[in-house]
Amino acid sequence: MEYIERSLDLEQVLLHKSCFLFGPRQTGKTWIIKNRLSKYKYFNLLDTKTYTQFAYSPNILQELINSNDRVVIIDEIQRLPVLLNEVQLLIDENDIHFLLTGSSAR
């Protein structure tokens, strides 16, 4: 897959705020995360174990994030919209920024 450089520096944005990154499937969203933002805590909701864990208990997100985590990435957030409530709570009550990625339903 060829990577096309874009002018948006996601890491710089995430130092100041949370954001959504939506786009069609297979356009490089996960590639950017794995190759440019790999130092941050990452959850992929395509992973069955991760999905099941959050589906059963969305509030476990609070337990899985520690005080050193300034940026947290949740990939494929569209699979579990209820998790957005926990994300909002963490944004409101802590100095944590989120990158939430998603694509169209299959």
Count CA atoms within 13 Å of residue 83 on its CB side. 26
Greater model confidence, 8 or 38: 38
Residue among 27, 21, 38 at smallest CA distance from 1: 27
Is 85 within the bounds of a domain?
A: yes
Domain range holding 52?
10-102
Residue 105 CA to residue 92 CA, distance in Å, equals 28
The single-letter code of the amino acid at 78 is Q
Which has more pLDDT, 51 or 1? 51
* pLDDT class of 80 with cuts at 50, 70, 90: very high
Per-residue pLDDT reduced to its tens digit, 37-47: 899 999 999 99
Is residue 5 a part of any domain in this protein?
A: no
Whether 97 maps to a domain, the answer reads: yes
Count of domains in the chain? Answer: 1
Output the six-digit token pair for 65.
């994030």
What single DSSP character describes residue 17?
Answer: -
d(CA 6, CA 31): 13
Whether 3 is covered by a domain: the verdict is no
Name the nearest CA neighbour of 99 among 52, 42, 49, 57: 42
CATH code at position 66:
3.40.50.300
Predicted local confidence at residue 26, as pLDDT = 83
3-state SS, residue 30: helix
